[in-house]
Structure 1
Amino acid sequence: MAEHKKVLSFLDSSIEWGIICLIFFTPIAFSTVEVWSEAVMEIGVFLVAFIWFLKIYLQGKVFMVDNPINLVIVSFICLVAFQLIPFPDFLINIISPNTKRILDFYTSGIFGTFNFKTISLNPWATKGELVKLLTYAMVYFLVANNFNGRGRKNRLILSIIIVGSIEAFYGIIQYVSGEKMIFKFSKMFHATDRLISTFPSADHFSAYIKMCIFISMGYLIYISEKGNNNKSYEFDRAKRKRGKRRTDSFIIKNFIMSSEKDFEKKIIIIFAIVIMIVSLIFTKSRGGILSFFLSSLFMFMLIIFRGTLKGHLWILILVTTITLILGCWIGFVPVFDRYFNVSIKEELEEGRFSIWSSTYNIFMDYPAMGTGFGCFEYVFPLYSLRSNQAWVNHAHNDWLELLSDTGVIGFTIILLGVVYLSIFAFKKVLLYKNDSQIWIFLGGYTSILSIIIHSFVDFNLRTDANPFLVSVVLGLLVSFLNKSVPVMRDKR
């Protein structure tokens, strides 16, 4: 019996540290956009999944967190798999007439008959995206079902904060020094005058670092409130004995009432947040910085709503002040130049707006189930409005690309997931006003909100490190939502 428990404990630790290692690997390995890094990520995830299945087998029971988000993920995967099923011509003509028409046109001169066709116009591309989807889904299920204890959650969050700090610090050194290579291995072909760290694009790095920032902010507020709540009880009792009214000052609340360990942790996390915000600013990503401010405004409103603005104002002032000092030292002028040198005419005629218009036309031709997940770059040339946009690999709008790839059905599935998560977030705010741990949940929710907003003007979720982190955070949020009500089923 003791040996059995030791084995299960070892498997639990293997799952935990396997996920943590992948959290470090995915951004540092060139944001997992290379073929080799994608393969390592996928193999690593399924090895950890194998350990989880082995643990389930040894336990004799399946412990699964039951949540509507599970249904959203499984439904979307089933939709993409459905796009790969060969159907008779008459069914394809009913489901998507334009799919049949275009496949008939391109296969008319080929010897043989093609009486069965898939909804996906490029099944090979859709298969590749399906493998990635399964990988991210497995990450979500691993985190949601294996990171239930407070200690494990804390280690997972600290891992995200550490890797975000490493990425930000490396990016700042890279930007200030004018380095043109990533780790001396890969040349920076894009945005050489912007901070990109280990990512192929400054915009995609900004999306990643924003998530790390909000998770760090949520954790910082959590440890501040937790420390104050633990210390204030004895402090209150002593004052009541003396018959004095409690009027704690800033210094008493945040320094005298904080243990040495908590105080050091706060300072380190504040420093990490400052470094990450500075790196975000010097990405010069318009969409990234705008979505950061909008998401920060949302978090600020949550602080006001919960009536804790006075207690956390010192954090906001300190972070803002240090960020401005460090930013001024590096130099803000190039950042402002990129904002003031925007050509509205160029953006409308040759930039994102032109691509969005073409993408919308794709959706209108394939409204129900799209052209196939991952098929955008193969279909877009047929709809391009300009000759200089003959090859565009993504729509620079994840939401529009989702519509063109999966149609109304796929878009609705994802939208329902976002709506459900948002409703639960606000419900948590209302029901758990005195629970400091709610800030970890709200920090994670705000991190996902930031990338949702940013995805209206970019394709951040097509860089593998970003959806990987989204999967981790989503699993963490679901583990908070259902930490006390797992579903148990006998494996037999």
Structure 2
Amino acid sequence: MIETQSKWDRLIFRGIVALLIFSPLAFGSVHVWAYCLMEVAVFSLLILFFTDRLLLSKSPALTWVRTPVNLWLILLLLLIGFQMLPLPSSWIAFVSPRTFADKRLLSEMISPSHAPGWMCLTYYRHASLMEFLKMAAYAGMFFLVLNTVRTKQQTRVLMYVLIGLGIFEAMYALAQIFSETPRVWWWKSRAGTGGFASGTFIGSNHFAFYMEMMLGLSFGLVIAHRGRQKRLTPGLSGFRVLVQRVVAWFSPESDQTRQILFSFVTILMGVAILLSASRGGILSAGMAIFLVSILLFTKSRCRGFGVLALGLCLVALIWGSRMGIQPARMGIQPAVEKFSHTEGLGQRLSITQTLLSMISDYPLLGVGWGNFRYLYPRYMTKEGEGVFFSGYSHNDWAEAGAEAGLAGMLFIIAVFAAYLITMIRIWQKRRSPYALGIGAGVMIGMISIGIHSFFDFSMHIPANPLTLSVLMATGYLVLHRTGTAYQESFFYQVRTLPLTLWPRIGLMCLCLFILGGGIFGVVRHFRAEVHCPTEWNSTMNLNWNPYLTDIEKAIAHNPGNAEYHARLAEYYMGKQISDKTLRERYNEKATESLKTAIHLNPGQGTYWYELGENCASKRYAPYPYLNQWLPLADHCFEISIRCAPNDVNIISKVAKYWVRRSTMLPETKDMLSGDASFSREQGIQKFQRLFQHALRIRPNLWEWAVIQVWEYYPDADILTEIVPPRDGEMEGLVLQWLENKMN
């Protein structure tokens, strides 16, 4: 038994409830202001918890609940922290040769005379830190619920708050479906405009992900309130038996009314998921209910609910196959049409396949937590381009493997597997309808989101993992609770750490250092984003063209964010200055800012391209321009394409650069010139290959490409070579353009 609940625990519990309500209502907490507030609140509650346990409590030892996931969560957090830790370059070369090679190339390009002595495993430390703080907040919420909730009443409060939120989200979604201008609060919903329900979330898939947890919980509450009703008076017959049975159903001692209520709530949750038109959400919920129904059949008292669960699966199957549905009459035509389209699924599977190559290049510890969006363009194919605009892989499992390596993926799988195995093992031993129902409901939610995560990125929406952490902790507590009222207790295992005065003070200082550092990092990020926003927020009119002073303030608050330095370079490069000296000074400042951005995030191809553009514009000093800056620009453009080999914007711009650049090259290689590695013919072949690649991906750029080449090379033979091989249709268009031009 853990010590009884203190007043600080009750205060923490209120904070947990407030966060549980806030996170989904604030657009799923996807925006900077929302997730920063969430993280600061969780870290503050953790500080309050440890202050109570280490300084205010009279207990001689620090105790906490032991669960099968504690170790794996700690290992995952340590792994992410290890990725951000500067290590000797020889260690990086041993653990991740590809990372070492890339960062060594960066050093040779930016600072040829400076060999890197220390490196981080992660490519972009700022992105890893931001995602680490989120992960720490989710783990902290799980820890707080486990160690501050003490009674059945509190577990009920958490579940009823979740159910209340689910009802609100479902009703809000229904209002969106039947509204002429569907909105999420003040913002005009894009998903709602398409006819899909999204609740208070930005996307309908993220809303469905949240509702899957609510569906499982509401179905679990149906099971939890089974059976208990007022005993009938013997000796009655006929109509009086029926009357007495109806009265018994609605008596205060009966759970039948609550069961009926939660049955309707379950139907409402299911309808909300269907109206979201989330194919992954609908099928995942159906599969999860089917798997848990098998578990229900192992309990004789739950077999009826197993049959009910199979009925819900059948509904999902009918919906999926569109049998017997009349969408026009039901007002759900857009949802059915979306469900019938499979193009997006093919694109998502394409991304997953290319992720296997990414994992094989960084097998052990990955590219860095939160770094997928910066490294994936190296592997992106044409098929995946339409899905990757979100910056996520639409497969949270595979993305975790790419970011944290096989080791991190093992830890995440272990968290899910250890939790589910423990829950099933304890569930099989319990007889209480309440424990059986809540346990089954939590497992439905867990399995459903585990399946759905193969097809979406909803675990990157902070409200979802935060709610999941509360749901997991609550389910664990309910299954380990026994007794009633003053006799109730929990039979989970606890860890105990005896502490004297000075160890308490030392441990408290360590907690303040870690959690206070987390709060400092979050606040610093928020203050910087206020001055110079870099994270998209479609619900607010942010200043995407900040003043120089605002950019400098953002850098002062958070110098590790590469995007601020890129914005600073963009500001200097965009200024139209007539004074030659000032223009040169601005150009040099832009160069240094871009080098800093690349040093912080070497995997971002756009930074390399912009540095190449900057170097190619240094025409004010002819000798350095020809012998230093142009060769450096060539290398920067080459690396930009290596970072994003299928990015049409970069490829086409680099091809345009080589059209002009080739005119500066000698007819033959001149070993004495700065352009010793290229001849004009090689330069022409280079832009021809680049244009072929760009037009193969995006054929409608052919006329723009033809105009760029014709400006410098009005030669039909050179021009026709930019057409991809065996593309007769495009070749005909180019020849027709040439004919019109000649006439």
* Range class of TM-score, shorter chain: 0.7 to 0.9
Distance 1:101 1:321 in 2: 53
1:262–1:43: structure 2 CA closer, same or farther, 3 Å change rule? same
Structure 2 counterpart SS, 1:224: coil
Structure 2 counterpart SS, 1:334: helix
Give deviations 1:155-214, integer Å, cap 9, x for gaps: 111111001111111111012113343112x23245632111111211111010010110
Find the counterpart in structure 2 of residue 91 from structure 1: 91
Find the counterpart in structure 1 of residue 64 from structure 2: 64
Distance 1:132 1:45 in 2: 10
Which runs of no fewer than 5 residues in structure 1 stay unpaired?
none
Distance 1:328 1:296 in 2: 28
Find the counterpart in structure 1 of residue 116 from structure 2: 114
Deviation at 1:278, TM superposition (A): 1.1
Find the counterpart in structure 2 of residue 406 from structure 1: 404
1:24–1:173: structure 2 CA closer, same or farther, 3 Å change rule? same
Give deviations 1:108-163, integer Å, cap 9, x for gaps: 22234421111101111001111111111110000111113111111111111001
Pairing 1:33–2:30 present: yes
Deviation at 1:275, TM superposition (A): 1.9
Please tell me whether the aligned partners of residues 11 and 55 of structure 1 are also in contact (alpha carbons under 8 angstroms): yes
Distance 1:21 1:370 in 2: 36
Aligned amino acid, residue 162 of structure 1? G
Please tell me whether the aligned partners of residues 293 and 305 of structure 2 are also in contact (alpha carbons under 8 angstroms): no
Query: Percent of aligned pairs with the same residue?
Result: 25
1:278 to 261, 271, 279: 271
2:477 to 471, 476, 479: 479
Aligned amino acid, residue 193 of structure 2? T
Structure 2 counterpart SS, 1:489: strand
Give deviations 1:66-93, integer Å, cap 9, x for gaps: 1221101111000000101111111101
Q: Which moved more, 1:303-312 or 1:151-160?
A: 303-312
Structure 2 counterparts to residues 54-453 of structure 1, below 5 A: 54-56=51-53, 57-61=55-59, 62-111=62-111, 112-184=114-186, 186-190=187-191, 192-193=193-194, 194-225=196-227, 227=228, 231=230, 256=248, 259-260=251-252, 262-309=255-302, 311-312=304-305, 330-343=330-343, 347-348=345-346, 351-386=347-382, 388=385, 391=389, 393-433=391-431, 436-453=434-451
Distance 1:294 1:334 in 2: 24
Deviation at 1:316, TM superposition (A): 6.4
Find the counterpart in structure 2 of residue 466 from structure 1: 464
Distance 2:25 2:345 in 1: 32
Structure 2 counterpart SS, 1:109: helix
Please tell me whether the aligned partners of residues 278 and 326 of structure 1 are also in contact (alpha carbons under 8 angstroms): no
1:172–1:431: structure 2 CA closer, same or farther, 3 Å change rule? same
1:189–1:322: structure 2 CA closer, same or farther, 3 Å change rule? closer
Find the counterpart in structure 2 of residue 17 from structure 1: 14
Distance 2:213 2:400 in 1: 21
Deviation at 1:102, TM superposition (A): 1.2
Q: Which moved more, 1:331-340 or 1:298-307?
A: 331-340
Distance 2:79 2:52 in 1: 30
Find the counterpart in structure 1 of residue 734 from structure 2: none
Provide the aligned length of Structure 1 versus Structure 2. 467
Which runs of no fewer than 5 residues in structure 2 stay unpaired?
320-324, 481-489, 501-743
Distance 2:96 2:13 in 1: 44
1:181–1:331: structure 2 CA closer, same or farther, 3 Å change rule? closer
Deviation at 1:454, TM superposition (A): 0.3
RMSD: 3.1
Distance 1:331 1:308 in 2: 39
1:77–1:306: structure 2 CA closer, same or farther, 3 Å change rule? same
1:15–1:77: structure 2 CA closer, same or farther, 3 Å change rule? same
Structure 2 counterpart SS, 1:338: helix
Please tell me whether the aligned partners of residues 60 and 490 of structure 1 are also in contact (alpha carbons under 8 angstroms): no
TM-score normalized with structure 1 length: 0.86
Please tell me whether the aligned partners of residues 371 and 406 of structure 1 are also in contact (alpha carbons under 8 angstroms): yes
Distance 2:145 2:212 in 1: 21
1:176–1:148: structure 2 CA closer, same or farther, 3 Å change rule? same
Q: Which moved more, 1:470-479 or 1:125-134?
A: 470-479
Structure 2 counterpart SS, 1:105: helix
1:41–1:326: structure 2 CA closer, same or farther, 3 Å change rule? farther
Distance 2:242 2:289 in 1: 23
CA radius of gyration, larger in: 2
Deviation at 1:476, TM superposition (A): 1.7
Please tell me whether the aligned partners of residues 255 and 263 of structure 1 are also in contact (alpha carbons under 8 angstroms): no
Deviation at 1:303, TM superposition (A): 2.5
Aligned amino acid, residue 376 of structure 1? F
Aligned amino acid, residue 305 of structure 1? T
Distance 1:353 1:31 in 2: 26
Q: Which has the higher contact order (CA 8 A, sep 6+)?
A: 1
Deviation at 1:11, TM superposition (A): 1.7
Deviation at 1:263, TM superposition (A): 3.9
Give deviations 1:363-410, integer Å, cap 9, x for gaps: 110000000010000001111122845755111001100110011101
Please tell me whether the aligned partners of residues 23 and 469 of structure 1 are also in contact (alpha carbons under 8 angstroms): yes
Structure 1 counterpart SS, 2:109: coil
Distance 1:338 1:250 in 2: 48
Q: Which moved more, 1:352-361 or 1:254-263?
A: 254-263
TM-score normalized with structure 2 length: 0.58
Aligned amino acid, residue 188 of structure 2? K
Please tell me whether the aligned partners of residues 369 and 408 of structure 1 are also in contact (alpha carbons under 8 angstroms): yes
Q: Which moved more, 1:321-330 or 1:441-450?
A: 321-330
Structure 1 counterpart SS, 2:64: strand
Q: Which moved more, 1:53-62 or 1:258-267?
A: 258-267
Distance 1:188 1:129 in 2: 26
